[in-house]
Amino acid sequence: MVETSPPQPSSPGIPSGAEFDPSRMAKFIGSRGHNGFLGIGYQDHGPDWIELTLPWKEELVGDTETGVIASGPIISLLDNATSISAWVRHGAFRPQVTLDLRIDYVRAAVPGRTIVARGECYQLRKSMAFVRAIAHDGDINDPVAHAAGIFIIVGETEGARP
């Protein structure tokens, strides 16, 4: 069945196939470019969520006095986790762009600890994916950050203007 399925439309270099594999997708995305530099990894996923990891490293520090990681890498981690959660819920990759992303920094992450982000797509509309995420450094009930955002699904949205 898999062999006879037509190839799925895909972005250059993004693994495609009849069977969408969130772990494979997340590992691929985490292996290159900005995510590769940050060291973003895959941990787990469910029907509408995915967990990604961001290990602490010296190069990502934002405050040399405390060793606390900068918030930039946390933005990237949450952007990835929420973005992939929309594909997980949809069951396939498709092009989408971030409309907005809002992040509350609940507390500073403990230096040296890996940050885990659980991104969830809580509603999927024809042209929009509504997402949220929690980032923590060991206990999800004691979060480091909380995020909410919206992605616009590009292929499904006909432009109203030229």
**Hey, which residues does 96 pair with through a beta bridge?**
153
Residues 59-118 that bind another protein (CB under 8 A): 59-64, 69-73, 75-80, 97-105, 108
Residue with tokens 């609940």: 106
N-to-C CA span, the chain: 40
Q: Looking at beta carbons only, is 54 or 88 nearer to another protein?
A: 54
Q: Are 105 and 71 in contact (CB under 8 A)?
A: yes
Chain centre to alpha carbon of residue 107: 20
Q: Looking at beta carbons only, is 79 or 120 nearer to another protein?
A: 79
**Judged by CB under 8 A, does residue 26 bind another protein?**
no
DSSP state of 71: H
**Judged by CB under 8 A, does residue 35 bind another protein?**
yes
Q: Looking at beta carbons only, is 6 or 13 nearer to another protein?
A: 13
- Name the site residues for another protein (rule: CB under 8 A): 11-14, 32-37, 58-64, 69-73, 75-80, 97-105, 108
